[in-house]
Structure 1
Amino acid sequence: MTALTQEQKKLIDDNFYEGLDENELDKTKFELLTSPYELQYLAENHNWDGGVKILHWIAESSICSEATALELFWLSQPKEYQKYNLTENIDGDYVGDENEIFQLIKTVLNNFKNGFYKKTDIHFDPTVHIEAEQQVPEFMKQATNGEETYIYLEKSEVDNWFGETLENKIKRCDTPIELYNVASFVKYQLDNRAELILKHPLCDKGIALMLFWRLKTFRNIWFETSSLATEIVTKIRNNEYPEILAYNPKLDREIKMSEPKPKWKIPEMMKKPV
């Protein structure tokens, strides 16, 4: 892949940095990008937690490469949107995030079908994403044995934990049940909380299993979930977590274990490396 100059990277870094509000995005600055390599760099360095407006610009650009568009498609976690018809808009909780991502998926699908994207030497292999979308293994549906769990934290309290405060709360957990309590609220703040909890030395099989199902249920608003879910499955399969706390996913009212029947199919052309 053609390397970008420092000037090209600086233009992107100066105008599309993490933390920039979507309302502050300048389309005229985006139009200064003139190569698919610049769009690839922008896509790879974008934090999806900041919104997907800039990703729509990339997907709609005539200089976007097939590889970049395909990567956007799979990072959007399309399986989570197969429960909707391609002709509908999404209503309900997180409508802003969900509907915008669904529109991004549909844009990429339509443009791929019409041969809109450029063929370049940029590569992307969707295999790892496809594998992550496979059916959940049966052992991930089984309860863990251990101490009885309970929730003592309040949602209103946890909602006020951000950034360094959040990281410190997680790092300072000194019992599995305390870490379990923090993990139980993972659906409300899908920043780096799940990854920090999984790396905590007190993370056990019950906590990891709960995180898996929390992420699976709510992952359509966080693009890193697929790799984390795969990591959890692998470690549970290999018995890498101690079994300390009791957790039964079939009794967890916060999660969804059943898969709705897909209302559209992912085309075979979207499953091939480019």
Structure 2
Amino acid sequence: MRDSYFHWNLHAMPDQSGRRIIVTGASSGLGAIMARELAKRGAEVVLAVRDVVKGQRVAEKIRASRPDARVQVGAIELTNLKSVRAFASRMTALDKPIDALILNAGVGNQPYVVTADGIESTFAANVVGHFELTGKLLPLLERGDAARVVSVGSNLYRRVKVDVDFSDLSFEHDHSPHGAYVVSKVATVLFALELENRLRESGSSVRSFIAHPGLSKTPMHNAVNGIVAKSVMAVAHATVSRNPEEGVLPLLFVATSAHAETGRFIGWHLRRSDKRIWSDEIRGVGLNHDLAQQMWEAIESVTAASEQDR
């Protein structure tokens, strides 16, 4: 199927009453906006956040605008697999089906740090933590109503070439802040597509989507360091960046619309004057099934080792 597009905005979002949705990274930026809009339309929303105080502030703002909003805040540190499992255990103990899991949290431009689980921190936050969370919550998603897992990608996966090697997730011998971020975004696309393949093969009713907000003005970009990088980001914000209220639309589209398609890369094109949400064919490295398998096995190895060390 060739590239196609949709004209879609918040007015087209269907009623979310009766749905239970988890949004990671919902204490600011795109995640906070998604939580607000989903709650406004009746969903029960769990804000899965690292900073609980900031998360509570977002929840309070949502309740102030809609007193009957059902929002909760849960602590999760995606770079710590023990924290991920603890969050998942709390959700499991509630014994409530999950209708959508939006894997929104992300970091970029981070200095080289290896987590306690032996994983480079950007890759841990953007990929491994979400991988583990999805696996632990899959039984609750299976009980949901046409449940969805939404991964947040980036056009960088097909625009920037980097060496991708998942044999060592500590990235000990080859690390740069930007390179680690790009690799994490390539991995996010591979994860979403491989998850969809595995769900279909198992006969699951859960679906896996990949969407991207384009370049949006979010707090994550405040971490850019260096004169050159800051200058490039300033030019990008001036020419192609979208405001977060617009950037979030493709993510909400795939989380709620019956027209969203799996196996596609859904989001904005570069021109911010183009207000269509595009559903593009997966290209380039995203089609590398062998690489997806290598990544999956590498992550399963480190998460299994971490669980054995508990």
TM-score, normalising length from structure 1?
0.28
Larger radius of gyration: 1
TM-score, normalising length from structure 2?
0.26
Bigger RCO of structures 1 and 2 (CA < 8 A, at least 6 apart):
1
